[in-house]
Amino acid sequence: MKFWPISHFPRRRPPRCLLLLALGVAALAIIGGCLAARHSNAGGSGQTIAFIAQTTGNELWEAAHAGARKAASREGFRIYWNAPTRSDDVERQIELIQSSIHRKDAGLVIAPVQYLALISPLREAMAKHIPVAVVGSSVPIPAGNGLVFVLNDDVVMGRMAARSVGALLHGSGKIALLGIDPNLTGNWIRFNSFESTLGSEFPRISIIEHRTSSPTFEEAAEIAEQILLRNSHLDAIASFTSTDSEGALTALRLLHRAGDVHLVGCDQELDLMEGIREGQVDTIIAENTYAIGQRAAEAIAALRHGRPVQGTVLIPPILITRDNIDVRATQEILSTDWRGAL
Amino acid sequence: MTFRRFARRPVWIALAAALLSAAGIAAVALWPSRVFRLPWRDSFAAGNTAGWQAFGGAWSLYQGGVRNNSDERGAKFLTGSTGWSNYAVDADVSLLGDDGDAGIIVRSSDEEEGVDSYNGYYVGLRDSNNSITVGRADHGWIEYQAVSPRQPLQPSRWYHLHVVAVGCEIAAVASGDTPGDRTWVAMHEPSCALTGRIGLRSYSSGGVWKNIRVVKAGTADLEPLLAHAPPDPLPGTLQSENGFDSLRLNRHGISPALAEALRRAAATPLATIGDLRNLSTAQSTDVTIRGSVILTAPRVYVQDAAAGAAVEFVRRPSLKIGDEVQITGEVEPLPFSAVLRDAAGRVLWQRSPAPPISVTAAQAATGLYDARFIETEAEVDASPNPSSRGTVLLLRSGYQRFLAILDSGADPSLLGQIAPHSTVRVRGVCVVDQAFTGNSVPFAILLRSSNDVRILSGPPWWDLRNLIAVAIALPIVLLLGLFISTRADR
C-alpha cells in the first residue's frame, strides 16, 4: 500500500471542504445545544444553581425559592427548582441530586429530608467540584471543601417557643409536645433547646406527652385529639413542625377547645395564620426561609467566584403573633410569590 | 459537472453525506411530533394511550377515558406537539377525591416529575376550596384566578372544561350538568409561553378524563370567555397571606367529612397489619386495621409502617392509591402476610402515596416484603407476554428471576417498548402468592401502571446479532477502503 506524500495535499485543496464540513458540524452542535436548552428548566447548567427543597408547593419552601431567585439573578445565575412530592421521599431527592451532578450545575442547594441518606450523593457532588449549600436541616459532613450550611437557628427557635409557652402559662401548667423528629437534626435541636429552656426557666411547667412527628396533618390531628381527650386539664400544646401544629389546631377546633388550650408552633403554614388571626393559635415561630434561600444562593455564587464564605450561617427565626402578623417583614416570609422576587 | 466527475471527489461525497445527515437530524429534532396535527382527539375509547407521557401518578384506561388512580400531588399525563400555539381544548373531567384538584394543562413544555414541574398554564376544578382556578406554572405556581361555581364541586360528577389559549390570553369555562352552572376564568400574561402541548393533571384528588379534543382557535373563540370572566387581579396577589385567605372561598374550618373520619378513627381499637400474621388460623378473627392503599387492581393491598396485607371487600369502596383507609374484616393469616376477607371499610383521608422501599431481588425472594410497595432493579429476561393475569414481564437480578405483572385493565403499550436485556427499575407491590407466581418464580411485582417500569439502560450493543453483523460488514468495509485507496493512487 502506498501513502500520499505530504507535498500532494496542497494540490488537492481539501482544507476548504473540511472547513465547510467543520462549519456544518459546528452548526449542528449549536442547533442541538439550543434545542436542548429550550426544553430545560435548568437552562444551560453552567450558570444554573439547583435548589432541591424538601417538597414544593408549600409556603415554607416557596419563600426560599423567592429568596434564592433574587440572589441568583443578582449574581448572574438561574435557579433550577424541584423537590419530591412528599417531604419524606429520600429516593426522589437523591435522584434529583444525581441529575444535578449529571448536568454539571454551577451549584446545589439542598434541604435534606433525612440526616444520613444524603451523605454519599452530596460527597459525590463535592468531589465533582459542585459547591453545595445545605439548608433547613444539617447533614453529618463538616463544612469546607465547597460545602456550606445555611440553617435556621434552631437553638433560638426552641428557646423562643419555650419562653412563649412560659409567658402564656405564667410559669406553671401542663403541656404536650408534638412533632418530634429525631431524623432531622434541626427538629431535634429545637426540641432539646425547648426542653432545656423550659426546665431551667419554668420548672413548674410539666411536660405530660411527647409525640413524634406525623406525615399528614390528619394523623397529627388524630394524635392531638387523643391527647386532648385523655388530658382534660391540658394547658398548652407546643409543636415542632407545621404539620403537627395544623393537626393540633384541627383537633382543638373539633373538640371546641381552640383558644382554651394554648397552641405554640414552630414553622409557618398559611392555615396557621388564619388561626393566629382568629385567636386560636397563640404564637408561630417561623423560619426565615426567604433569607435562607437568599444566603444559600449567595454562598454558591461566592464559592463559584472564589470569594471567601462562612462555613455555617445561622438565620434567626421570627416570632409571629396577632400583633405583628401584618408587618412587612412577617408578610415577606409568608409570601409564596417566588416570581415577584426579581 | 457530470456525475462521474463529481463522484471522483470523495470529499464532496463526504460533504454531501454529512449535510444530508445534518438535515435529517435537524428534521427529527425540530419536528419530533409531526404526527400531532390539529384537530386532534384522544383514542382512549379505542384502548390506546400511545403518544401520552406520564409524570407521576397511576394512569390507566377507564370506561372510555383515562383515570389517575393516585393521590400524588401534581401527577401529569401529557401529549401533543410542543409546536401547538393557538388552540382550544375540550374535555370531560371528574374528580375522584374531595380535597384536591384535577384539570387541563395547556402550552406545556419542559415537564418533569414534581408538583408544579412544567412550563405552562393550568385550569383546574378544585374541590378543596370549591373553585375553578387558572394560573401559571413555571416550576412553581402562580395562581391568577380562583372563582367559586354556583353549585359546589363534587367528586365523581362530570364537568366539561373548555380551555382556549390565544396569544397571551388563557380563558376557560367549566360547565356542570345543571343548567346555568357555568364558571368562567381568564388570565393574561405579558411575556407568555406561546406554544406547548396539552396535559391532564391532578393534585391529591386523582381524576378521570374523557372526550379530549384539541382544535385551532382564534380571538373569536376567546372573546365570549373573556366577556364573562372576572377582571384579572394583579399577578402575585393570591400568593400573599391575605390572598391565600381569600382562596378559602366557602370552605372555612374543618370539613364535615374530616370531622367524621377523625371521630371514627379515634373511636375504634386498631390492630397493626404486622400482627395479623400471628393470629390463630384455627378460629376466625375480625379485626380493624388502618393503612394506606398501595394497589387497587387486580387486588386491593394496604400497608402501614411495618407490613402489608391483601383485602377482599364485600362491597368495595372507591379507592385510590395513597388513600388512608380503615378496614374491618376476617383475618386469614398466611406464611408471609395476611388477607382480610369479607372486609368493609372507608376512606379516612387522602394522602400522597408513600415512596417504595428499595430492596434487592434476593431480599424480595425471602418473602419478607410480601404485600409491600417495593422498588428493585433487574434485567429484562424476555419480551412482555400477554396472559390471563395481564401483561407479564420476566426479569432477572443475580440468581433470582421474578415477574412484573401489569393488570389487564392497564395499557401495556409502554411495556412493549422494552427490549430484552435492558436494565430496568421496577416499582410495585411484591407478592409471593402462587396465583401470581405460579410457583415458577419466588415472587412477582404487581405494577400500578406501565410507568412503574423505568428503563435505566438499553440492552448491551454487543449481542450475538450485532457481532455477526460486524463480522460480515468489517471485511466489506476493508475491501472498499482498499479499492478507494487504489483508485486514488491511480
* Average pLDDT, integer, range B207-216: 97
Return the pLDDT at A165.
98
Nearest to B56 among A81, A85, A274 (CB): A85
Contact B352 A92 (CB under 8 A): no
Return the pLDDT at A39.
42
Residue B30: pLDDT band (50, 70, 90) is low
Instruction: Please give the share of chain B, as a percent, with pLDDT higher than 70.
Output: 90
Contact B22 A28 (CB under 8 A): yes
Give the residue from B139, B263, B292, B454 with the most A CB atoms within 10 Å of its CB, the best one to mutate: B139
Q: Which residues of B touch A17 (CB under 8 A)?
A: 11-12, 14-15
Return the pLDDT at B144.
93
Return the pLDDT at B231.
87
Return the pLDDT at B405.
95
Return the pLDDT at B81.
95
How many CA atoms within 13 Å lie on the side-chain side of A145?
9
Q: Which residues of B touch A82 (CB under 8 A)?
A: 112, 114, 117, 139
Asked whether the predicted pLDDT for residue B365 surpasses 90, the reply is yes
Contact B254 A250 (CB under 8 A): yes
Instruction: Please give the share of chain B, as a percent, with pLDDT higher than 90.
Output: 59
Per residue in B66-99, pLDDT (tens digit) is: 999 999 999 999 999 999 999 999 999 999 988 8
* Average pLDDT, integer, range B4-20: 62
Strand partners, A144: A147
Tell me which residues of chain A have a pLDDT lower than 50.
Answer: 1-11, 14, 32-39, 342
* Average pLDDT, integer, range B406-426: 86
Taking the Cβ of residue B241 and every Cβ of chain A, the question of whether any pair is shorter than 8 Å is answered with yes
CA distance to partner chain A, nearest, from residue B79 (Å): 15
* Contact predicate B59/B50, CB 8 Å: no
Asked whether the predicted pLDDT for residue B449 surpasses 50, the reply is yes
Q: Which residues of B touch A18 (CB under 8 A)?
A: 11
Per residue in B317-333, pLDDT (tens digit) is: 889 999 999 999 999 99
Retrieve residue B50's grid coordinates.
400511545
Contact B113 A80 (CB under 8 A): no
Q: How many CB atoms lie within 10 A of CB B221?
A: 18
Lowest mean pLDDT among A316-325, B140-149, B234-243: B234-243
Greater pLDDT, A219 or B3: A219
Q: What is the DSSP letter of A316?
A: P
